[in-house]
Amino acid sequence: MESRKLNLEINKYLLKTKKSKILQEKAAKYLPGGSTREAQYFDPYPIFINHGKGHYIYDVDGNEYLDFVINATSLILGHSHPGIVDRLKIQANKGTAFSGPIEDLINLSEILCDRIPSLDTLRFTNSGTEATLLAIRAARAFTKKNKIAKFEGGYHGAHETVAISVSPNINDLTDDMKPIAGYVGQPEGILNDVIMLPYNDLNVCEAKLREYKDSLSCVIMEPVISSFGYTPLDLDFLIGIRTITKELGILLIFDEVQSLRIAYGGAQEHFGIIPDLTAMGKIIGGGLPVGAFGGREEIMSLYDQSEGKAVIPHSGTFNGNPMTLVAGLETMKHLTPDTYKRLNNLGEMLRLKLRAVIAELEMPVMISGIGSLFGIHFRNEPIKDYRSSLKSDKLMRRILFTALLNEGILLQGQTAGALNILTKEADIDNFVKVTREVLSRIK
C-alpha cells in the first residue's frame, strides 16, 4: 500500500523532471552514481538546478521550489543575495585568491571571536570537514593523548577519525557500542582510537570517559543533532558532559557547523555551555566554501607559526580566501540579534503549526527542531539517540519528501529544513497548508 503511494508520487516526479532525468543519465557516465556529493542525490534522481533567487530555486525543467534546504542550511541570506553578489563582483575584479592575507581576514575573525563565546582565536579552512579535523588535531597535540570520543550517529565530515559509526546498520550495533567502520577497509588502528558514546545517556558516557580518561584527548559533539532533524540535546546532558570532561582533562569540541545559526553566538551561547574548541562552517562563508575552528588561546597557539615552526602546521591554498571572506562579512552584517529573533520566532511558528496539523490528522508524526531548523519524523516519540532514531518510518518519509517536491517544496531527504532571512509568515502558512494536504493524501 505504502509503496503504491510512493510509486504514484515518483510517477508525478518523472513527468515534471524530464530534463533532470536526461542530465542524471549523462552525469552517470562521468561521476559514480552521477553525483559528487552524497546529500545532493536522492532517488530516482535529483533535480538539476538552473538557478536560485531569494528563497526559491528553479530546476532545468522550469519548476519552481520553495527552498528549505538552502544548500544544507548554509545560505541564511537566501540565494544570490544582492549584497553578497555586489561584494563578490568587486572582489573578483580585485582578485579572487592571493598568497597573502587581506584586511577582511581580520574583520571576519574579529566578528566571529566577538560573537562566539568559546573563541579567543580561530583559523579558517575550506570546509567543515577540515574544521573538525584540525580541532581534533589541536586537542590531541594539546593533551598529548590520541583517542577521541564521538557519539553514535554523529556526523562531523568526511575525515577518517569521525567517519565511524555515523549511520551504521542496525544489525551491526553492539551493546558495548563497538565503533563501526564507515567503509570497507578502514584501518583497524583508526577504529581503535575512537570511543563511541550514546547521546542523552550521561551514566554510560561518564563511565566510558572515566575508563579512557588517560588516553582520551577530546569529545566531539553537536549540541543540536543535525541528522536527527535538528534535535537539541538535553541541557542537563550537555552540562554533565561539560562538567565531566573538564574534571578529567578531556577537551570538549562543539561541532557548530550547522548549529551556529540558532543564535547570535551559536548553540553554545543559547545553552550557556562553553566548549574548549568549536568547529564552524556553512553560514560564515555566505554561500562560498568555508570552515573555521577556534577556541582557547592556549590551545589555538599550537598553530602559531610566528616564532619559527608551529607545533601543528596548517596550510591550505584557499584558506581565508577573499571571496569567502567578503561573502561571510556581508552575511554577518545582516545577522543581527533582531534577525535571529525573527528567524527563530518563524521557526517556532512553523513547528507549532505543523504540530497542530498532525494533531488534527491524528498521525504518528513528530516535529523536531530549534531556532530556524526543523525536522518531520514518522514516529510517535522524540528521538533520544541513534538507536531510537532508527525507529522512524523511512518509507513514509520518502513519500512525503517526494510529494512535497511535486508540490514545489524542497526539503532535505531526511524531511528536515532551515529557514532563511527571506522566509515570511506567508511561506510558513503555504508550507503548512501543502504539508497538510500531502499528509491527508498519503495518510
Residue closer to ligand PLP, measured from CB, 213 or 314 = 314
Q: In the complex, what is the shortest distance from the CB of residue 364 to ligand PLP, in angstroms, rounded to a whole number?
A: 27
Residue closer to ligand PLP, measured from CB, 113 or 158 = 158
Residue tagged active-site, from 282, 340, 353, 386: 282
Neighbours of 144 (CB within 10 A): 7
Q: In the complex, what is the shortest distance from the CB of residue 330 to ligand PLP, in angstroms, rounded to a whole number?
A: 19
Q: In the complex, what is the shortest distance from the CB of residue 375 to ligand PLP, in angstroms, rounded to a whole number?
A: 13
Task: State yes or no: is 89 an active-site residue.
Answer: no
Handedness of CA 277, 232, 169, 44 (dihedral sign): negative
Residue 74 near residue 282 (C-beta atoms within 8 A): yes
Residue with cell 541513534: 386
* Side-chain half-sphere CA neighbours of 26 within 13 A: 7
Residue closer to ligand PLP, measured from CB, 52 or 128 = 128
> Measured between alpha carbons, how far is 340 from 336 in angstroms, rounded to an integer?
7
Residue closer to ligand PLP, measured from CB, 72 or 442 = 72
> Measured between alpha carbons, how far is 266 from 262 in angstroms, rounded to an integer?
6
Helix %, strand %, coil % of the chain (to 5): 50, 15, 35
Q: In the complex, what is the shortest distance from the CB of residue 226 to ligand PLP, in angstroms, rounded to a whole number?
A: 5
Sheet holding 409-410, edge to edge: 49-53, 56-59, 64-67, 409-410
Residues 6+ apart with CB under 8 A from 306: none
Residue 16 near residue 61 (C-beta atoms within 8 A): yes
Residue closer to ligand PLP, measured from CB, 217 or 414 = 414
Per CB under 6 A, residues contacting ligand PLP are 72, 127-129, 132, 155-157, 222, 226, 255, 257-258, 281, 291
Q: What is the amino acid identity at position 278?
A: T
DSSP-derived letter for residue 112 is H
Q: In the complex, what is the shortest distance from the CB of residue 222 to ligand PLP, in angstroms, rounded to a whole number?
A: 5
Residue tagged active-site, from 155, 230, 303, 386: 155
CA-nearest of 369, 356, 428 to 73 is 369
Residues 6+ apart with CB under 8 A from 104: 322, 325, 326, 329
CA-nearest of 412, 339, 337, 332 to 374 is 412
Q: In the complex, what is the shortest distance from the CB of residue 259 to ligand PLP, in angstroms, rounded to a whole number?
A: 8
Task: State yes or no: is 338 an active-site residue.
Answer: no
Residue nearest to ligand PLP as judged by C-beta position? 128
> Measured between alpha carbons, how far is 135 from 354 in angstroms, rounded to an integer?
37
Interior/surface letters 397-436, b for 16+ CB within 10 angstroms, e for the rest: bbbbbbbbbbbebbbbbbbbbbbbbbbeeebbeebbebbb
Residue closer to ligand PLP, measured from CB, 255 or 385 = 255
> Measured between alpha carbons, how far is 331 from 284 in angstroms, rounded to an integer?
7
Residue tagged active-site, from 59, 67, 255, 385: 255
Residue closer to ligand PLP, measured from CB, 130 or 427 = 130
Q: In the complex, what is the shortest distance from the CB of residue 155 to ligand PLP, in angstroms, rounded to a whole number?
A: 5
Residue 223 near residue 271 (C-beta atoms within 8 A): yes
Residue closer to ligand PLP, measured from CB, 372 or 406 = 372
Q: In the complex, what is the shortest distance from the CB of residue 58 to ligand PLP, in angstroms, rounded to a whole number?
A: 24
> Measured between alpha carbons, how far is 300 from 364 in angstroms, rounded to an integer?
47
* Side-chain half-sphere CA neighbours of 226 within 13 A: 27
Task: State yes or no: is 176 an active-site residue.
Answer: no
Residue closer to ligand PLP, measured from CB, 273 or 399 = 273
Q: In the complex, what is the shortest distance from the CB of residue 266 to ligand PLP, in angstroms, rounded to a whole number?
A: 12
- Active-site residue set: 155, 255, 282
